[in-house]
């Protein structure tokens, strides 16, 4: 049976057009983009074109794009690079603000910086995972160097009011970074409109290759390199360029921009059909996230009385790939930090599943998924002592009500 892949927030398949564009640079076009000869110049021209394509997706200038090894490196570079050059009033402690629902690529860096003496504020979110811009305003001090709030959350899809947050921070001369790894290609993203100084994106979330990403650095931003080495990337990232990866990332960005007018709407329609189908047929389901300010492809649902891992394994057995929490945390059974920050009770967080649709998802796949979820939840709940208890209590209450 054809497998159904609904885990596009974890990663996406390489687009055939991206692969075609990369192949020549994996075969004969192996030149080093820093070499002066024709082979090198060919590689340099390809890197330059890709840089323009990436810049165009986010409304930046090509010179403001630094290629990285992915979203994680872009986030590390933004936070560590800015904090390294932080200037704070005499005797002060540099201060960083991040949201509590950031990806570990930001959160773990913040924790690392904390150990190095940086003061970090983790701004709380509301039950729909939104950051309140006023909470960021209240956290700003004269020592605040950087605010980093993601554009869209990878687990529940909630879109953050980054534009408002950036306006508040920049009015005080404070730099703003946003992790747009999940947002790029799914929402219009424009660095001018957002008013951010730094923005991270990743190739493999937008049908590009893995191991490539980019950091937008607004012209004039004070930031140290993360990787010291050669002169590459205007000395902002040493190391011979990953030319095939960069070429793939460029084409993926061009395709993402071309598809922005059609694919997200299609995904939203199918996603809503999936949500409606499940909620109509499965009782005791909780919706996690923001009803409207949300990525068009993402649906996070909590199934009471069961473990998400058990649902995941059963759905996988039925040929359907979904995720519990974020891909990066699957394997550890801690409840998702995002759901915890949304104040979802631990038992309910444990029963949460993320469905993330892609450009190839069909309505037939959605209908098959709904049917499978109905079947699997029923089967797993039938084995759940918690559900048995609930049913007994429910039956007892009904008997009492009849007796009255
Ligand atoms: N930021 C967010 C929001 C993500 O979802 C991810 C990947 O899951 C990353 C950063 C890390 O990106 P990469 O896998 O390219 O290192």
The 10 Å Cβ neighbour count of residue 63 is 11
246-293 tens-digit pLDDT: 999 999 999 999 999 999 999 999 999 999 999 999 999 999 999 999
For residue 71 and ligand 1, the question of a CB distance below 6 A is answered with yes
Mean pLDDT of the chain: 95
pLDDT of residue 332: 56
For residue 289 and ligand 1, the question of a CB distance below 6 A is answered with no
- Give yes or no for residue 338 having a pLDDT over 60: yes
CATH number of the structural domain spanning residue 377: 3.90.1150.10
Specify whether 276 is located in the same domain as 179.
no
Q: What is the mean pLDDT of residues 210-238?
A: 97
Specify whether 186 is located in the same domain as 278.
no
For residue 202 and ligand 1, the question of a CB distance below 6 A is answered with yes
Domain count, the chain: 2
Say how far apart CA 41 and CA 33 lie, in whole Å: 6
- Give yes or no for residue 54 having a pLDDT over 60: yes
- Give yes or no for residue 206 having a pLDDT over 80: yes
Say how far apart CA 262 and CA 253 lie, in whole Å: 15
Distance 328 CA to ligand 1 centre (A): 9
Q: Which residue among 212, 237, 259 closes a domain?
A: 259
The model's pTM: 0.96
Specify whether 29 is located in the same domain as 134.
yes
Percent of the chain with pLDDT over 90: 92
176-202 tens-digit pLDDT: 999 999 999 999 999 999 999 999 999
Its domain, for residue 110, covers 16-259
- Is the distance from CB of 66 to CB of 217 less than 8 angstroms? yes
- Give yes or no for residue 106 having a pLDDT over 50: yes
Q: Which residue among 259, 291, 310 closes a domain?
A: 259
Count Cα neighbours of 356 within 13 Å in the Cβ-side half-sphere. 25
Choosing from 23, 328, 340, 374, the catalytic residue is: 328
- Give yes or no for residue 329 having a pLDDT over 70: no
Distance 200 CA to ligand 1 centre (A): 9
């Amino acid at each position: 049976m054809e497998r159904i892949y609904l885990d596009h927030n974890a990663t996406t398949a390489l687009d055939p057009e991206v692969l075609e564009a990369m192949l020549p640079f994996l075969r004969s076009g192996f030149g080093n983009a820093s070499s002066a000869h024709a082979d090198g110049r060919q590689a340099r021209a390809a890197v330059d074109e890709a840089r323009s394509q990436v810049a165009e997706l986010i409304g930046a200038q090509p010179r403001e794009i630094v290629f990285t090894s992915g979203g994680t490196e872009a986030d590390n570079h933004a936070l560590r690079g800015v904090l390294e050059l932080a200037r704070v009033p005499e005797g002060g402690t540099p201060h960083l603000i991040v949201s509590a629902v950031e990806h570990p690529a930001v959160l773990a860096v913040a924790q690392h910086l904390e150990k190095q003496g940086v003061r970090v504020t983790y701004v709380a979110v509301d039950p729909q995972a939104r950051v309140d811009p006023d909470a960021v305003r209240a956290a700003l001090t004269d020592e605040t160097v950087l605010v980093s709030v993601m554009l869209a959350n990878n687990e529940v899809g909630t879109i953050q009011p980054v534009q408002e947050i950036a306006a508040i921070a920049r009015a005080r001369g404070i730099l703003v970074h946003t992790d747009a790894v999940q947002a790029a290609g799914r929402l219009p993203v424009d660095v001018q409109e957002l008013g951010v100084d730094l923005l991270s994106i990743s190739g493999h979330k937008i049908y590009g290759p893995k191991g490539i990403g980019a950091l937008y650095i607004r012209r004039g931003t004070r930031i140290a390199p993360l990787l010291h080495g050669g002169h590459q990337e205007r000395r902002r990232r040493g190391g011979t360029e990953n030319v095939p990866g960069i070429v793939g990332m460029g084409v993926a960005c061009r395709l993402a921009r071309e598809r922005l007018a059609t694919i997200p709407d299609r995904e939203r329609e199918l996603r809503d059909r999936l949500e409606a189908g499940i909620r109509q047929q499965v009782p005791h389901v909780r919706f996690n996230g923001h009803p409207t300010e949300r990525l068009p492809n993402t649906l996070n649902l909590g199934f009471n009385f069961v473990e998400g891992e058990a649902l995941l394994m059963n759905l996988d057995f039925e040929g359907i790939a979904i995720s519990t929490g974020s891909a990066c945390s699957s394997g550890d059974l801690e409840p998702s930090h995002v759901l915890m920050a949304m104040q979802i009770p631990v038992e309910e967080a444990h029963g949460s599943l993320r469905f993330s649709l892609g450009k190839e998802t069909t309505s037939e796949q959605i209908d098959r998924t709904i049917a499978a979820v109905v079947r699997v939840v029923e089967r797993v709940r039938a084995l759940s002592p918690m559900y048995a208890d609930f049913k007994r209590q429910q039956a007892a209450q009904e008997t009492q009500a009849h007796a009255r």
